[in-house]
Amino acid sequence: MNVQEVDKKIFRNLLRGEFGIEKESLRVGADGYLASTAHPKIRRKGISRDFGESQVEFISGVYTSLQDACIEICALQEIVERAVYTRPEGKEYVWTYSNPPLYHGEDSIRIAEFSGAKKQKTTYRQYLAEKYGKVKMLFSGVHLNFSMPEEFFTLLHKKAPDLPKKRLKSEWYLKLCDVLMSDSWLLVALTAASPVAERQFWDGLNVREDERDAYASLRNSQYGYWNHFTPELSYVDFPSYLESMDAYVRRNEIESIQELYYPIRLKPAGENTLANLKKNGVSHIELRMLDLNPMCCAGVAKRDLIFIHLLIAYRSAKLLWGGQTKEAPQPDKERIKLHKTAASQTFWEDYPSKKAYAQSLIADMKAFYKDYEKQPDSYVPHDYAALEVLAFEESKLSNPKKRYADQLRSLYADGYMRARMWETMGTEGEFS
C-alpha cells in the first residue's frame, strides 16, 4: 500500500473512534441539602464516587458509538436513582447540576471514604481538601474520553515507519492535544451550563456580589477547580511533555500528575500516573470542560458530543494534510486565560472577534464534511447528521435562547432551591 492509498484509507475512516463518558453528580436529600449519608452499596461496574462521599461517579465502558456511551450513563444513573430514592435514612435524589445544592457548612462535606487497598484514595482526597478547600470540590461535570482506533495508528505507522508505533501514538495524541487546547475556550462557550448557584456557594468561593450574574459557566471560570498556579506544559515532543509535568512534581507544587487540572489531559490505560504514562504511552485523550446539562440524562447533549468529535476529526485532518493556521500556538497560560474568559455570560457580545472566528470555523467544518460525505466509502456513524449538528452549534452564537446557560438562568434566577428542583429530577431528559 503506497502513501497515497494510506492517506485515502485514513481519510475515509476519520470519523471512526472510541468513546467513554465519565459523569459526576452529587446526591441530595428531600430537604434540598447535600446528602450526608454513605455512598450507596451498589455492586455494579461503572458506579463509584469521586472527591466526596456524596459525589457519585458514573463511568461508561468504551464504545465505538457515542450513543451507546450515553445510553450506559443514563442506565447507571437510573440504577442509583432507584437505590437512593428508597433509602431507609430518607429519600435522596441525583443532583443534575454542576453547581451544588445547599449544604450544612464545609464540615458537612464528607470526603470519599475508601477502605482496604483503596484507602490511599481517601488520603489523597484529604490532601486536596486541605490544599484547595472542600467547597470547591462540590463542582461536578462531564469528561469525554476519546481514542482513535488502532487501525489508524497502523496506517499512520506506514507513513512514519522509523518511529516505534507506541511512540508514534503518544506523539500523535500530543499534537492533537496541543491543537485542541486552543479550542477549549470554544467548547466552554458553546456548552456552558452552570450560571446559577446558591448564595452559600457563592460565599464559599469568595465571589464578589457584583460578579454573581457574570458567568455562564462558574465551573470553568477563574473560580473553578484550578491549580494555584497556571502550569506550562511542553508540546515539543512526548519526552518534553513528560518532563514538563514531572518538574511540577519534583518542585512539590503538585503531588502527582493527577493534580494537574487541565481542560484536556493525555492519559495512559489504567492508573493515571507519570510512571505508567512513561512506560505505556498515551491511550486516549480526555476533555474535561463540559458542564452538567440538566436537560440530558447523560449530563451532556449528544449533539454537543458529536460536535466535539467532528472538531477532533477536522483538526486531525488538518494535522495530517496541512491547512492548519500558520499562527504559532499560544502558551498554555494564554489558552487557559481565554478558557476562563469564555465562561463569561456575555463572552460572545464582549469578544466579537471570537464570535467571528467561531462562525468562520463552523463554516469551514461544514464545507469539509460536505466534501467528506461525498467521498466513496467514507465512514459516517449512523446517528450522525454533521451539517445539522454544526448548524445547531452555530445557532448558539446568534440566538441566546439556544444557550443552555441562558435557559437555566431564566428558569432558576432565584436559585435552584426556590424551584425545588429535587422533586422533579429523573432520567426522562433527552440526550440527543
Name residue, grid cell 448558539: 396
- pLDDT of 326 strictly over 50: no
- The H or E element that residue 132 is part of is helix 119-132
Q: What percentage of the chain has pLDDT greater than the value 70?
A: 95
- pLDDT of 175 strictly over 90: yes
- Over residues 366-424, the pLDDT tens digits come to 999 999 999 889 999 988 899 999 999 999 999 988 999 999 998 887 777 765 544 44
Handedness of CA 403, 408, 410, 414 (dihedral sign): negative
Beta carbons within 10 angstroms of residue 295's beta carbon: 16
Single out the residue of 309, 290, 308, 298 nearest to residue 431, CA to CA. 298
At 70, the amino acid letter reads C
Q: Which three cell numbers stand for residue 8?
A: 485515502
- Over residues 219-278, the pLDDT tens digits come to 999 999 999 999 999 999 999 999 999 999 999 999 999 999 999 999 999 999 999 999
Single out the residue of 254, 268, 240 nearest to residue 175, CA to CA. 240
- Over residues 62-78, the pLDDT tens digits come to 999 999 999 999 999 99
